[in-house]
Amino acid sequence: MRTEGLLGGALMLLLPVGGCATTSFSSDLRRVQELSRSPVPLRVADAPPEDHDPAVVQAVLSAPLTADGAVSIAFRNNRHLRASLRDLGVARGWLAQAGALPNPVVEFDIRYQTDRTQPLQGDIRLEYGLTRAILTAQRSGLARAELETAQARVAGAVLEMGYEVRAAFYAVQASEERLMAAQQALDAFAASRDAARALHAAGNISTLDVSV
């Protein structure tokens, strides 16, 4: 009776531990968004790593491209980042499994007697992993720490990609500005040359002035 009481008490204490583990992947994604402060679309993480939605990309490219739009396209087209987001589901699964209590094993054994005057004899055996049940809280805590580590790692990958894409976007913008300035300067020189030639043809300036 003492052993049965201890077992029942241990099970009652550990039942809340098994119920606290959740399989919500959206909560992990929201945590990554909070850590990285980047709006990672749910579709990016929810779809397979090799899948993509070209319609969404075309919708972004139909308007003037911004830094945020470039980051959004990069999130959707980068398979490594999307696979990293899917790894959060693996860590979440380990947490759910670690927080689950072991299932009891029940065995029935019926023995037939050679003497038909004797009744059937049966045994019932119940096995339960008490050690595993007691360590459920420790395993759940370790799995939760691993999940939080995975969230931080993925948030770091999101931050790194967002920084690289924005740096490349602004570098392209700066190159376009330099190209535009050079084109305007070239157009100004061409206009000045044409004007000098016209003045020379009219006899208003000398050949030396035109060559300068």
The tens digit of pLDDT for each residue in 36-63 reads 887 776 555 555 544 556 666 677 777 7
Token pair for 71: 């980051």
pLDDT of residue 212: 62
Which carries the bigger pLDDT value, residue 21 or residue 114? 114
pLDDT of residue 182: 93
Rounded alpha-carbon distances, angstroms, from residue 99 to 30, 31, 65, 125, 145: 22, 20, 46, 26, 13
Angle of helix 2-20 relative to helix 136-201, nearest 10 degrees?
10
Question: Is residue 210 in some structural domain?
Answer: no
The DSSP bridge pattern shows strands 105-111 and 121-127 to be: antiparallel
Could you give the CA distance from residue 198 to residue 196 in angstroms, rounded to a whole number?
A: 5
The least confident of 22-26, 121-125, 186-190 is 22-26
Question: Is residue 15 in some structural domain?
Answer: yes
Question: Is residue 27 in some structural domain?
Answer: yes
| Backbone torsions φ then ψ of 121, nearest 5 degrees | -115, 135
Token pair for 159: 């931050």
Question: Is residue 184 in some structural domain?
Answer: no
Could you give the CA distance from residue 83 to residue 184 in angstroms, rounded to a whole number?
A: 46
Domain span at residue 32 reads 2-169
Confidence of residue 69 (pLDDT cuts 50, 70, 90): confident
Question: Is residue 138 in some structural domain?
Answer: yes
The tens digit of pLDDT for each residue in 102-114 reads 788 888 787 777 7
The tens digit of pLDDT for each residue in 135-181 reads 788 888 888 888 888 888 888 888 888 889 889 999 999 999 999 99
Q: How many domains does the chain have?
A: 1
The tens digit of pLDDT for each residue in 82-126 reads 778 778 888 888 888 888 887 888 887 877 777 777 777 777 887
Question: Is residue 197 in some structural domain?
Answer: no
pTM exceeds 0.75 = no
Could you give the CA distance from residue 114 to residue 111 in angstroms, rounded to a whole number?
A: 10
Judge whether 23 and 96 are in contact, CB under 8 Å: yes
Token pair for 25: 């992947």
DSSP 124: E
Judge whether 152 and 33 are in contact, CB under 8 Å: no
Kindly report the number of other CB atoms within 10 A of residue 147's CB atom.
Answer: 22
Q: What is the chain's Cα-based Rg?
A: 36
Using the structure block, give the residue that is written with the tokens 């979440």: 92
* Residues in a beta bridge with 124: 108
Could you give the CA distance from residue 203 to residue 197 in angstroms, rounded to a whole number?
A: 10
Could you give the CA distance from residue 166 to residue 72 in angstroms, rounded to a whole number?
A: 11
DSSP 115: S
Question: Is residue 120 in some structural domain?
Answer: yes
Question: Is residue 203 in some structural domain?
Answer: no
pLDDT of residue 44: 57
